[in-house]
Structure 1
Amino acid sequence: MPFWYQATRLWVWCLYPFSLLMQLISTIRRFCYKKGWLASYQSPLPVVVVGNISVGGNGKTPFVISLCELLITAGYKPGVISRGYGGKSPQYPLLVVNETTGKEAGDEPVLIYQRLQIPVVVDPVRSQAAIYLAEQCDVDVIVTDDGLQHYALQRDIEVVVVDGKRRYGNQHIMPMGPLREPLSRLQSVDYIINNGGVCSGEFTMNLLPSTCKRVDGKQGTLTISDINACAAIGYPPRFFETLRKQNFRLQKTVSFADHHAYTSDDFDQFELDIPLLMTEKDAVKCTSFAKDNWWYLPIDGQLPNTFTQPFLDKLKQIKESKC
């Protein structure tokens, strides 16, 4: 909601009672899980939860990919679990394979699998996905894409990703603001990753654009700077600004809702003779009907050494204690 990131207007305070109710429910729910009054699953493998306390795109998926690459380089065999938002499968848990579509698994799990070629399991009940991953796949670390508030799955490390520009908006709980939990929740997480910004006590992640690739999977090089662009992510303006910084001249930009289920009709509004550039998350849903001048921009997350080594040291201790 745009008003979440603006000065709080008088009418917004009409939502305050609902925000108080949301905060009360959230606090009681977490307390019940912490006390063991609500059942939760503890995996025999280390579990790293990557999430946020606010809604909207904060850069979790690029971080998950970079984190898994770090783990692989360090000798671990990570697997990823996801709720699979935007997808619907006839059965769960769903192990993502080459033939899995975004309609089945959701765009982010398919993207993560295509980039990493590691086990990715989707289930609305994340604990069931964790059980499947531990029992059926050759992994030794579980990374959950989102799920900070899914307390039915116990975790060993919590990582929160923050939008370095928008931060926490007006700092109110939904629906008055963008927060899922109060800011005080950050005091109990292990690491805070700042996407594109600098703040004391946080680790800065820089998103680095790579070379544009064709959506249809064929080889090619994008040589034209005048383009159209679309995005169905949590915060499309960030993507459009990234393109401008790459010296693209945007003729037309169109934002869709996050996790939008694309059809070919969505693209009738774009001129056929102008290249169309989209996010990598969008591309995984458009391969079956992509035109030869549709492109996507891969983004890689760069993690600082001040985060990577302490994280690996902490994970090593956790794994040894579980063994």
Structure 2
Amino acid sequence: MKNILLVAWRTRGWLACLLWPVAQVHGLVVRVRRSLYRRGILRSRRFDVPVIVVGNVVVGGAGKTPLVVALVRQLQSQGLRVGVVSRGYGRAGRHSLEVRANTPVDASGDEPALIQRATDAPVFVADRRTDALRDLLAAYPATDVVVCDDGLQHYALQRDIEIAVFDDQGAGNGWLLPAGPLREPWPGRLDEGIDLVLHTGQQAAFDGYTSRRQLADHAVDANGNRLALTSLTHQPLVALAGIANPEAFFGMLRDRGLTLDKTLALPDHHDFKKEDLKALSGRTVLCTEKDAVKLFSLPAPPGLQLFAVPLEFSPEPAFFAALDALLAPLLSQLPSSHGHQTH
């Protein structure tokens, strides 16, 4: 069923046309919901700290997490104290939780775990992002700015800067769910709060800032040991990925001159079990950093060599310059003591 919907999203074929009336209803619901929040009928919450929301208006992944990591590192390099909040998709439990280095991935979610390990920033997850942000500021009251991983449609949390992320799919066929991939109207949403648009793919579908993404020239094992990718060029490898677009990862490995004897494309946020690794005994396996936060915690079968290949992601300098221009007046208005009070 998912593959059929993908065909509908990417075309204006017969299935998309059949689903078009449902999409119209969805669009009406989206507009009414946004209006209720704007009018204050549905309650939203503002915190005494600038909030940057990174998300997308299409279903699936488009590179949000690499951008969150890049944003946090950029802001930290400016001396800012940055916190991150997320829903923690696929995690067990709904309560608010601080993600620490030793937090089980099934309790935090794979993406928050990856963000915490990549940035060492305070990361909180909760089913309601307002709860996560409340608890983050209670624990770290001197926080200067908060980045929200996903949440463009979580209007209960007021935000100061909205960043929409797109991959090569762009807006797909331009129709709302379920006839298309859009959660919200596009480009209509561009005129209703979106401050910055960043493209993470190779070919930008429309105007916006661009970024560079490529694999690092090394892989990393569970103990943090590095291995040059060039040392793997003449041996058959297994590549696996439980991300939104596994083929993109496989393609980047091949571009590095690696020979993939076998590829395993798994669903996004795949819940890895030790049985997944048993069939790979005796093989050299490459995975993404996102998958590694789960796989490295599993017992390895005999002979398995498992490595994660880091992704090097960097938005163009003009993107960061535009972000700085938006953020500067917000930082200048911060109270002398940052805290968890709301207004």
The one-letter code matched in structure 2 to 1:308 is: F
SS at match of 2:297: helix
Runs of 4+ in 1 over 6 A off after TM superposition: none
2:24 pairs with 1:20? yes
Aligned partners of 1:200, 1:230: CA distance in 2, in Å? 31
Is this contact kept in 2: 1:215–1:286, CA < 8 A? no
2:207 pairs with 1:201? yes
C-alpha distance 313-290 of structure 1, shift in aligned 2 (>3 A): farther
Hey, what does 1:262 align to over in structure 2? Answer: 272
Aligned equivalent of 1:242, options 252, 257, 266? 252
Q: CA deviation at 1:212?
A: 3.6
The one-letter code matched in structure 2 to 1:78 is: V
SS at match of 1:216: coil
Hey, what does 2:293 align to over in structure 1? Answer: 284
Q: CA deviation at 1:290?
A: 5.1
Aligned equivalent of 2:311, options 291, 299, 311? 299
Range moving further from structure 2, 292-301 or 109-118: 292-301
Is this contact kept in 2: 1:216–1:290, CA < 8 A? no
Hey, what does 2:223 align to over in structure 1? Answer: 217
Aligned partners of 1:42, 1:83: CA distance in 2, in Å? 18
TM-score, normalised by the number of residues in structure 2 = 0.89
Q: CA deviation at 1:148?
A: 0.3
Q: CA deviation at 1:181?
A: 0.5
SS at match of 1:288: coil
C-alpha distance 218-63 of structure 1, shift in aligned 2 (>3 A): closer
SS at match of 1:131: helix
Aligned partners of 1:160, 1:107: CA distance in 2, in Å? 21
Q: CA deviation at 1:269?
A: 4.0
SS at match of 2:74: helix
The one-letter code matched in structure 2 to 1:266 is: D
Hey, what does 2:183 align to over in structure 1? Answer: 180
The one-letter code matched in structure 2 to 1:207 is: R
The one-letter code matched in structure 1 to 2:116 is: Y
C-alpha distance 199-2 of structure 1, shift in aligned 2 (>3 A): closer
Hey, what does 1:148 align to over in structure 2? Answer: 152
Q: How many residues align?
A: 320
Q: CA deviation at 1:264?
A: 1.4
Unaligned stretches of 5+ in structure 1? none
**Two-structure CA RMSD over aligned residues (Å):** 1.7
Q: CA deviation at 1:215?
A: 4.1
Hey, what does 1:311 align to over in structure 2? Answer: 323
Aligned equivalent of 2:92, options 88, 92, 106? 88
Is this contact kept in 2: 1:81–1:142, CA < 8 A? yes
Hey, what does 1:98 align to over in structure 2? Answer: 101
Q: CA deviation at 1:5?
A: 5.0
SS at match of 1:108: helix
Is this contact kept in 2: 1:5–1:166, CA < 8 A? no
1:243-269 CA-to-partner distances (Å, cap 9, x unmatched) read 111111111111111111110112344
Q: CA deviation at 1:6?
A: 3.4
C-alpha distance 4-321 of structure 1, shift in aligned 2 (>3 A): farther
Is this contact kept in 2: 1:206–1:302, CA < 8 A? yes
2:63 pairs with 1:56? no
C-alpha distance 81-313 of structure 1, shift in aligned 2 (>3 A): same
Hey, what does 2:47 align to over in structure 1? Answer: 43
Unaligned stretches of 5+ in structure 2? 336-343
Is this contact kept in 1: 2:57–2:184, CA < 8 A? yes
Aligned partners of 2:8, 2:247: CA distance in 1, in Å? 16
User: Percent identity among equivalent residues?
Assistant: 34
Aligned partners of 2:179, 2:277: CA distance in 1, in Å? 34
Q: CA deviation at 1:213?
A: 3.3
Hey, what does 2:122 align to over in structure 1? Answer: 119
SS at match of 1:76: coil
